[in-house]
Structure 1
Amino acid sequence: MTLRQTLASLPREARDTLFLLFVIAWVIAPQVANLPPWTSLLAGGLLLWRGVLAWRGRPLPGRWTVATLLIVAVAGTLVTHRTILGRDAGVTLIVVLLALKMLELRARRDAMVVFFLGFFTMLSNFFFSQSLATAAAMLVALLGLLTALVNAHMPVGRPPLAQTFRIAGSMALLGAPIMVALFMLFPRIAPLWGMPTDSMKGSTGLSGVMKVGSIAELALNDAVALRVRFEGPAQDIPQQSAMYFRGPVLAGFDGREWQAEPFREDSALAARIGLPANLQVQGPAVRYEVTMEPQKRPWLMVLEATPNAPELPNMQAYMTQDLQWMTSRPIMDVMRYRAESYPTFRHGPETAVRQLHVHEELPPGFNPRTLALAAQMRADPSLSAGGTPALVNAALQRLRTGGYTYTLEPGVYGEHTADEFWFDRKEGFCEHIASAFVVLMRAMDIPARIVTGYQGGEMNYFDGYWTVRQSDAHAWAEVWMEGRGWVRVDPTGAVAPGRVGQFQRLRAPQGAFAAAMGTLSPGLAQNLRAAWEAVNNRWNQWVLNYTQTRQMDLLKALGFESPSWQDLTTVMGFLVIAAALGGIAWNLWERSQHDPWLRLLARTRERLARAGLELPATMPPRAMAAQVQARFGAGAATLADWLLRLERLRYAPHPDTELAALRREFSGLPWPKK
Structure 2
Amino acid sequence: MSVTSAPPPASSGHLRQTLATLPRDTRDTLFMLGVIAWVIAPQVGRLPWWASALAASFLFWRGILSWRGQALPNRWLLLGVVVIAVGATLITYRTILGRDAGVTLIVLLLTLKTLELRARRDALVVFFLGFFTMLSNFFFSQSLLTAVAMLVALMGLLTALVNAHMPVGRPPLLLPLRTAGMMAVLGAPIMLALFVFFPRMAPLWGMPSDALSGRSGLSGTMEIGHVAKLALDDSVVMRIRFDTPGHVAPPASQLYFRGPVLSEFDGWQWRAPTLRQDPWLGQWSLLTQMRVQGEPIRYTVTLEPHQRPWLMVLEAATEKPALNGANPFMTPDLQWLSTRPITDVVRYSAESYPDFQHGPTRMTDALRDLALLPASSNPRTVALAQTLQADPAIAQGGTQALVDAVLHRLRTGGYEYTLEPGLYGQHSADEFWFDRKVGFCEHIASSFVILLRAAGVPARIVTGYQGGESNNVDGYWTVRQSDAHAWAEVWMEQRGWVRVDPTGAVAPGRIGQFQRLTAPRGVFGEAMGTVISPGMVQQLRAVWEAMNNHWNQWVLNYTQSRQLDLLKALGFTAPSWQDLARVLGGLLGVAALLGAAWTLWERRQHDPWLRLLARTRQRLAQAGLVLPDSTPPRTIATQVQAQFGDSAHALCAWLLELEQLRYAPSPAASGQLRQLQRRWHSLPWPAPRSS
Same fold (TM over 0.5): yes
Partner of 2:296: 402
Asked if the contact 1:605–1:615 (Cα under 8 Å) also holds between the matched residues in 2, the reply is yes
Asked if the contact 2:650–2:683 (Cα under 8 Å) also holds between the matched residues in 1, the reply is no
Task: List per-residue Cα deviations over 1:379-398 (Å, max 9, x = no partner).
Answer: xxxxxxxxx66xx4x43x76
How much has 1:536 moved relative to structure 2? 1.2
Letter in 1 for 2:679: L
1:197 aligns with 2:91: no
1:37 aligns with 2:49: yes
In the alignment, the residues of structure 1 paired with residue 312 and residue 52 of structure 2 have an alpha-carbon distance, to the nearest angstrom, of 44
Partner of 1:664: 681
In the alignment, the residues of structure 1 paired with residue 132 and residue 311 of structure 2 have an alpha-carbon distance, to the nearest angstrom, of 42
**Secondary structure class of the residue paired with 1:256:** strand
How much has 1:413 moved relative to structure 2? 11
Alignment CA distance shift 1:161-1:517 (3 Å)? farther
In the alignment, the residues of structure 2 paired with residue 605 and residue 110 of structure 1 have an alpha-carbon distance, to the nearest angstrom, of 40
Asked if the contact 2:284–2:332 (Cα under 8 Å) also holds between the matched residues in 1, the reply is no
Task: List per-residue Cα deviations over 1:111-158 (Å, max 9, x = no partner).
Answer: 010001000000000001111111111111101001100100000000
Letter in 2 for 1:171: M
1:421 aligns with 2:314: yes
**Secondary structure class of the residue paired with 2:44:** helix
Taking only the aligned residue pairs, the percentage that are identical comes to 53
Task: List per-residue Cα deviations over 1:77-100 (Å, max 9, x = no partner).
Answer: 111111111111110100000011
How much has 1:169 moved relative to structure 2? 1.2
Asked if the contact 1:552–1:564 (Cα under 8 Å) also holds between the matched residues in 2, the reply is yes
Asked if the contact 2:622–2:688 (Cα under 8 Å) also holds between the matched residues in 1, the reply is no
Partner of 2:158: 146
Asked if the contact 2:258–2:312 (Cα under 8 Å) also holds between the matched residues in 1, the reply is no
How much has 1:105 moved relative to structure 2? 0.3
Q: Return the match for 1:11 from 17, 23, 26.
A: 23
Alignment CA distance shift 1:56-1:673 (3 Å)? farther
1:257 aligns with 2:268: no
How much has 1:164 moved relative to structure 2? 1.3
Asked if the contact 2:54–2:108 (Cα under 8 Å) also holds between the matched residues in 1, the reply is yes
In the alignment, the residues of structure 2 paired with residue 517 and residue 133 of structure 1 have an alpha-carbon distance, to the nearest angstrom, of 23
In the alignment, the residues of structure 2 paired with residue 30 and residue 656 of structure 1 have an alpha-carbon distance, to the nearest angstrom, of 56
Task: List per-residue Cα deviations over 1:581-620 (Å, max 9, x = no partner).
Answer: 1111111222232333331211212344566645454544
How much has 1:532 moved relative to structure 2? 1.0
Alignment CA distance shift 1:11-1:438 (3 Å)? same
1:82 aligns with 2:99: no
In the alignment, the residues of structure 1 paired with residue 336 and residue 592 of structure 2 have an alpha-carbon distance, to the nearest angstrom, of 53
In the alignment, the residues of structure 1 paired with residue 673 and residue 550 of structure 2 have an alpha-carbon distance, to the nearest angstrom, of 65
Unmatched tracts of structure 2, length 5 or more: 1-10, 213-218, 222-256, 266-271, 341-357, 367-477, 483-520
TM-score, normalised via structure 2 length:
0.57
Task: List per-residue Cα deviations over 1:164-194 (Å, max 9, x = no partner).
Answer: 1111111111111111111111111121x63
In the alignment, the residues of structure 2 paired with residue 164 and residue 641 of structure 1 have an alpha-carbon distance, to the nearest angstrom, of 41
Q: Return the match for 2:120 from 101, 108, 112.
A: 108
How much has 1:433 moved relative to structure 2? 7.8
Partner of 1:603: 615
Unmatched tracts of structure 1, length 5 or more: 202-207, 211-253, 263-273, 276-319, 326-345, 349-354, 361-387, 440-447, 455-477, 487-506
Alignment CA distance shift 1:663-1:587 (3 Å)? farther
Partner of 1:562: 574
State how 1:77-476 maps to structure 2 within 5 Å.
77-191=89-203, 194-199=205-210, 256-257=259-260, 324=278, 359=286, 392=290, 394-395=291-292, 402=296, 404=298, 411=303, 420-422=313-315, 428-429=321-322, 435=330, 439=333
Alignment CA distance shift 1:672-1:649 (3 Å)? farther
Partner of 2:405: none
Asked if the contact 1:27–1:138 (Cα under 8 Å) also holds between the matched residues in 2, the reply is yes
Please give the root-mean-square deviation of Cα atoms over the aligned residues, in Å. Answer: 4.8
The number of aligned residues is 457
In the alignment, the residues of structure 1 paired with residue 479 and residue 556 of structure 2 have an alpha-carbon distance, to the nearest angstrom, of 11
1:51 aligns with 2:85: no
How much has 1:667 moved relative to structure 2? 10
Alignment CA distance shift 1:644-1:82 (3 Å)? same
In the alignment, the residues of structure 2 paired with residue 450 and residue 569 of structure 1 have an alpha-carbon distance, to the nearest angstrom, of 35
